[in-house]
Amino acid sequence: MKRSIWLRLPMVIAAGSLLLNVASASASPGTNVRLTHDETAGAYVSAYTLGTGTAYTDPTLTECSRSQGRQNEPAVAVDPRDTRVLIGSSNDYCGVYNNGMDANGAPIPSGPVWLGYYRSENSGGTFVSSLVPGYPGDTSPYAALAQVRTAGSGDPVIAWDKHGRVFMGSESSGDPEGTAKTMGDVWVARYVNSGGPAGTLNDGKQYQGTVTVASGSSAPNLLGKFHDKTAIEADRTGGSCDGYVYFAWARFTGNTPSGFNSSVYLVRSTDHGATFSSPMKLSQTVHDIQFPDISVTANGHVYVTYRQFADIRSSQDTDAVMYQKSTDCGGSFSQPTQIAAFEPYDATDILDSGGLAGSCGDFASHCQSGYTFFRRSTQVRSTADQLDTNSENIYIVYDPSKPGTEVASGTTYGSVASGDLPVTRHQNTGSQSGVYFIKLNGATGGHTTPALLDNEAIGHQLFPDISAEGGVLHATWWDSRLDPNYSAQRPVGNGPGGLTAPALDVFATRSGNGGASWSTATRITDVSSNPNYEQFSGRTVPFAGDYLWVTSLGDFAFTVWADWRNTAGGVDQREVSEDQDATTADVLQCRHTTASGGVSGDTCPRAGGLDQNIYGDRTP
């Protein structure tokens, strides 16, 4: 992996129609709800069974129901016709240990990482867990409808139209034949109402198929074309482009003289997701960009926002929030326009080996600071209210460093230098991150001054999301204000000696006046989580995913997040002398000395050490 793109490449391990049913408008956080039921036999139900009522299962679903595995990068979307119906998703690792054991009795981690499909028909009170069809080992009648060629998928995104259809997008990688080819495709799956137009409780329940909209290169090590960080939205306006589906992503291109480059591409479907247009490159004049998001305003105009990275190779000297606009239903787009420049919060450190890292852990992932921390960087999220016919506003949130909070870290750790800069430009400076809000008037191009949603003196704020449908804005983010060891000098969840501890909670706020003012932020999580458990890359490094999600319709809002309340801590038997985290980041694992004198793989991966889950709850 090239240094210049360490921050943005994926970790390759392995949404206005007549409201027929609306949940109560009195929303307040209750007991958090688990979406990923990988702890109970038979809990993962086939999409075929959900859609048809006909029984089907397979070894992957059986494994998913007992795996107590990892899930992250959640998405969720409420049915605009019926707020009882919610669809969630995540990168779901539940099927990883479905391929037997090695000679030393350790389950082999070679099964699929795939898109979860989590369904609620009681406004998020409970969820049924499933997988999007097409995963390796899927032999259901739905498997033939999945036009995919890869062994894994991730970066789930979800959008509803106003006719009971839901669309789920993904980036997808890995060769099912087991070669080093990374593929890097992107695809969109579609579901419809299994009962036809009558009734809404079955909206988005019957799978209809998956279309690969762009293929990556069949090359190893992320070379050639690789697609990442997806975004999706559907037109629900009732206008001339009602029902159009828009899907965007960042495309990385390797094998170039300057290393890797990234651009935003977009496709659209005019036939409800059955086919898509050829990919269109949006960002012709901006290079090195990431985190696209799509918004559709009530007049059918389409907006794509994204982050521009400072890049000395392409003479981009600032990190910035950018946007492009289409007035012809995604047929063409304006040139990129900068909304606001910012000082990023991109967690960085120096590996023991000397390279630049965006996450740190043990062994080859150990950093000179001694801290253990998950990957995080400033990203841009946006939305529009498709029911608001009086404006063409785009609502934007992002999580940079707060000016004036910079402080010498005293270590190799830093947060204010853009992750795209090389080691020689890395700054050993920490900072506090905050969530900023901007309202963009798409008709005029004017926008409000970036303002903090919740200006707290203590704690990092990260991974924000925002939703707007029906006159109310809802925003959510991760927050470390309750961490007793918080310091702007250190990464989230780290104490001064390198110990880690529960540090993250989800907070949320709302605005009923277009973002002019916001309610007091409310804690959503029942318990704080430790996001720095070393659950990835062979139990050596943490990974929290790259985003949270909130969905809403009027006063109804629901948010989802990755959570570690069920994770079992432990001791890593491979560490001859414990490093600085003193087992506070290690997870339960079972290893023994092999006949050759080495150390076995983990023989108890289902015992809770990998138990990272997706939880959700109503927000105010």
Q: What is the residue whose two structure tokens read 């990688």?
A: 173
Please state, in angstroms and rounded to a whole number, the distance separating the CA atoms of residues 98 and 522: 40
User: What pLDDT score does 424 carry?
Assistant: 54
Please state, in angstroms and rounded to a whole number, the distance separating the CA atoms of residues 554 and 302: 21
Please state, in angstroms and rounded to a whole number, the distance separating the CA atoms of residues 166 and 78: 10
pLDDT tens digit sequence for 398-422 = 999 999 999 999 999 999 986 555 5
Tokens of 147: 């036009």
Tokens of 317: 């000297």
Please state, in angstroms and rounded to a whole number, the distance separating the CA atoms of residues 519 and 39: 37
- Which stretches of 311-441 are DSSP H helices? none
Spatial contact of 60 and 115, defined as CB atoms under 8 Å apart: no
Helical (H) or strand (E) element with 295: strand 289-296
pLDDT tens digit sequence for 49-74 = 999 999 999 999 999 999 999 999 99
Tokens of 491: 């990464």
CA atoms within 13 A on the CB side of 516: 4
Q: What is the residue whose two structure tokens read 């009923």?
A: 512
* Residue 400: closest CA among 484, 328, 463: 463
Tokens of 271: 């036939």
Please state, in angstroms and rounded to a whole number, the distance separating the CA atoms of residues 314 and 258: 9
> Environment class of residue 48 by beta-carbon count within 10 Å: exposed (0-12), middle (13-18) or buried (19+)?
buried
The three-state secondary structure class of 31 is coil
Where do the domains of the chain lie, and which CATH numbers do they carry? Answer: 3-618 (2.120.10.10)
Please state, in angstroms and rounded to a whole number, the distance separating the CA atoms of residues 381 and 295: 10
Spatial contact of 488 and 469, defined as CB atoms under 8 Å apart: no
Residue ranges with strand state E in 23-70 = 33-34
Spatial contact of 324 and 293, defined as CB atoms under 8 Å apart: no
Residues of the chain with pLDDT under 50: 1-27, 257-259
Give the strand pairing for 82-92 and 71-79: antiparallel
User: What pLDDT score does 314 carry?
Assistant: 62
CB contact set of 617 (below 8 Å; sequence gap of 6+): 29, 30, 31, 32, 33, 124, 506, 524, 525, 558, 559
| pTM: predicted TM-score of the whole model, two decimal places | 0.94
* Residue 208: closest CA among 246, 152, 165: 165
Please state, in angstroms and rounded to a whole number, the distance separating the CA atoms of residues 163 and 160: 8
